[in-house]
Chains A and B, each alone.
Chain A
C-alpha cells in the first residue's frame, strides 16, 4: 500500500516536471505558447465547471458569466485605473470577491430549483448579462471589444504560459483537496441523494450555494487569466455561450467528477480544434470543424458516458478480469 502511494507520488512528480518543461520546448513561430496558455485557461475553466457538474450534480448553462466577469474586471481595471503588479493583485481579489458574490446571489435564488430549471435560469442570466454588456458599449466595447495594457512582466509569452500552467496545477491541487475534504464529500453526497442528506441533517441549500460560489470564483480566475494572456476582451469572446459549451464538452469528454478529466478534455478539445482548423486549409470539408465536435460529443455520451477516464477505467477492469480468468 505504502509503496503504491510512493509510486503514485513519483508519477505525479514526473508529470508535473513534464508539464512545467513544456514551454521550454516550444518556439513561438507557430503560436505554440499561445495554444498552451489557452489550454491552461480552458482547463481551469473546465475544472470549475466539473465542480458543479461532476461533484455537485448541478447543471449550469450560464457558467461563462463568471468567466466574462473575470475577464472584464481585469480589462477595465488595467485600461482605466492602473497597470502594475499590485493593481493586478487587486484585480485578482476583486474578481474572486465579485464572482463569489455573484455565485452566492445566483445560488441563493436558484439552487433550490430542480436541476433543469436551474440550468435554464443560469442560461437566462448569462445571456442577459451578455446582452447588457453588449448594450453598454461605452464600458465593454461591445462586439468589437477593446485591447488594454498589462504589466510588463506579463508581456512575455513564456512568462504568461508559465503563470497559466502553474495556476492550473495549483488550482487542481486546491480543488482536489477540497473535494476530498469532509465538506467536499458532503457536496458529493448531495449529488448522490439530496433528500437523504437532508434527512441526515445537512443544510443542502447552503452547500449547493457554496459549490456555486467556489466554482464561480475559479471560473472568474480563468477569465482573468484569459484577459491577461490576450490583452483583449470583447463581449462574444468572454461572454459567449460557446465557452460554457466548451467547458461542458471538455468535462464530459474527459470524465465528469474527476478533475483530471476536464484537464484531459481541455488538452484534447483545444489540440483537435487547432489541428482541424489547420487541416481545413487543405481539406475544405474540415472548415465545418465544429460539426466534428458535435459528432464526437454524441459518440462520447453514447459509448463513454463517464468520459475518457471512466472508459479507460472500465477497460482496465475488463482486462484485469479477463487476465484473472485466463489460466
Chain B
C-alpha cells in the first residue's frame, strides 16, 4: 500500500509492508501498547528500543497474532490482518522469533528446523514417505543450520541445547520460514559473548540482502545503531520517537525516557 503520511515536514511515498493504526492492548486497566501508529517500508531495517516493560514484546505479539488488540488495526501488504490467527499471518509472510526460546523440546535440532522449512512447502501434505527422505527439505535445513553453526548439534534434542544454542535455533527456525517480514525479538539475549558476533553477522547479512523487512527488538543500543535504518522508541506502551539512529540518540525525550540522560551513548 502507498502511504502519504508524513512525519514533520518530510512527506514520504513508499510502499509499506506493515502498518498499524491506533494499535492498543490493555491487560486489566493497564495499557501495555497504547495507540501506536507505525509504518514499516518494504525492505527496511527498523529497531525498536525501549526500557523493560515498554511493551516491545507485546507489540510483536500483536503483530504476529499471539495477542488480539483491544483497539486498532494492522495491515500487512495492504490487507488487514488484525483478526487473523497467527498461523494465517505466518503463511502470509509474518515470521517471528521469540525472546524466550520457543522450540519443540523433544525433537532434534534438525527436526525443529525441518518442520519450520516444511511449513510452507507442498511436501507438508505428504503422508507416506519418510520425512527425512526429501532432499529438497534436508538441503535447506543443512544450509540454515550451517549458517547459524548448529550443524554439529543437528541430532541433539532441542531441550539439551545450551541457552545460546536455543537462541540460535530460534533464529534458524525464523530463517527457515523464509518470511517477507522478520520479527526478531532480542535475538542475542542471554547468549555468551563469543556467540553474539556470529548472530550479528547472520542478521547483518540478512540486512544486506535487502530482500526482507526486518523489525528488531534489541537492548544493545550500539548494535542497533550500526544496523538500523530507523530506530523506534517505545515507552510505557507509546511510540514516543522514530527516526534515523543518530537523531534518536540525540532526541531529548528519548534520553530522559529511556537512556536516562546518557548523552554519551549516542557517540559510543
Contact = CB atoms under 8 A, between A and B. Distances in A.
Nearest to B116: A200
A182 B107 contact: no
Given A182-B131, A184-B127, A200-B173, A189 B90 contact: no
B124 interface: yes
Contact of A183 (B66, B90, B98, B124): B124
B70 to A, nearest CB: 21
Contacts of A193: 102-105
A202 B105 CA distance: 17
A84 interface: no
Contacts of A198: 85-87, 90
Interface string A172-201: 000001101111111011001101111111
Main secondary structure of the interface of A (DSSP, over half): helix
Given A185-B115, A197-B115, A202-B119, A180 B131 contact: yes
B252 interface: no
A249 B93 CA distance: 44
A137 to B, nearest CB: 41
A51 interface: no
Contact of A181 (B64, B120, B129): B129
B66 A181 contact: no
B77 to A, nearest CB: 16
A181 B102 contact: no
A202 B120 CA distance: 9
Nearest to A185: B131
A204 interface: yes
Contacts of B115: 185-186, 189, 197, 200
A182 B127 contact: yes
B124 A186 contact: yes
Contacts of A177: 127-130
Contacts of B111: 185, 189
Contact of A199 (B66, B105, B130): B66
Given A188-B107, A193-B102, A195-B102, A182 B116 contact: no
Contacts of A192: 104-107
Contact of B87 (A183, A184, A185, A203): A203
Contacts of A204: 87
A13 to B, nearest CB: 19
A183 B104 contact: no
B119 A181 contact: no
A239 B129 CA distance: 35
B161 to A, nearest CB: 14
B91 interface: yes
B7 interface: no
A200 B102 contact: no
A186 B87 contact: no
A202 B131 contact: no
A318 B98 CA distance: 35
A203 B85 CA distance: 9
B90 A182 contact: no
With a 10 A CB-CB cut-off, give which of B85, B102, B103, B118 has the most chain A CB atoms: B118
A55 to B, nearest CB: 12
A177 B129 CA distance: 7
B27 interface: no
Nearest to B96: A199
Given A178-B128, A181-B131, A201 B119 contact: yes
A306 to B, nearest CB: 11
A204 to B, nearest CB: 7
A171 to B, nearest CB: 14
Contacts of A203: 87
B80 interface: no
A176 to B, nearest CB: 10
Contact of A189 (B85, B86, B107, B125): B107
With a 10 A CB-CB cut-off, give which of B64, B66, B125, B128 has the most chain A CB atoms: B128
A97 to B, nearest CB: 19
A200 B125 contact: no
Nearest to A180: B130
B92 to A, nearest CB: 9
B233 interface: no
A14 B74 CA distance: 61
B123 interface: yes
18 contacts: A177-B130, A181-B128, A181-B129, A181-B130, A182-B123, A182-B137, A184-B127, A185-B118, A186-B118, A195-B66, A195-B86, A197-B115, A199-B96, A200-B87, A200-B90, A200-B177, A201-B87, A202-B87
Interface of B: 64, 66, 85-87, 90-91, 96, 98, 102-107, 111, 114-116, 118-120, 123-131, 134, 137, 173, 177
Given A181-B126, A192-B105, 7 more contacts: A178-B127, A181-B128, A181-B130, A182-B124, A186-B124, A198-B85, A200-B173
Lowest 7 CB-CB distances: which A-B pairs, in order?
Answer: A201-B90, A192-B104, A183-B127, A201-B119, A201-B91, A200-B119, A198-B87
Interface of A: 177-178, 180-186, 188-189, 192-193, 195-204
